[in-house]
Amino acid sequence: MQCNVESKAAASLADIRLSGKRLFVFILGGVTFSEKRVAYQLSTQLQREVIIGGTSILTPNTFIEELEGLSEDFNEDDVI
């Protein structure tokens, strides 16, 4: 079943590549899976290839870890 889904997705992406210009989206700070899903949905709606990238791929766990890292770097003496 998994292979069949992947082949259908590859075939639909091949059709999209032929019909329009590429749209590149780069997100500073990381890309979430929901943003990747929206890029795929846009590619089918716009009939063009949407390529999304970023500085990292954020999962819920990595997002929480990065937030924890911000609180460790925060110093109340730096606040004016």
Instruction: Specify whether the CB–CB gap between 44 and 16 falls below 8 A.
Output: yes
* Structural domain containing residue 46: 14-55
Give percent above pLDDT 70 in the chain: 65
Q: Please state the rounded mean pLDDT for residues 9-15.
A: 62
Is 6 among the domain residues? no
Is 64 among the domain residues? no
Is 2 among the domain residues? no
Between residues 38 and 75, the one the model is more confident about: 38
Is 27 among the domain residues? yes
Whether the per-residue pLDDT at 34 is higher than 80: the answer is yes
Whether the per-residue pLDDT at 68 is higher than 90: the answer is no
Is 69 among the domain residues? no
Is 20 among the domain residues? yes
Domains contained in the chain, number: 1
Whether the per-residue pLDDT at 1 is higher than 60: the answer is no
Phi, psi of 30 (to 5 degrees): 115, 155
pTM (whole model) above 0.75: no
Q: What is the β-pairing status of strands 23-27 and 57-58?
A: unpaired
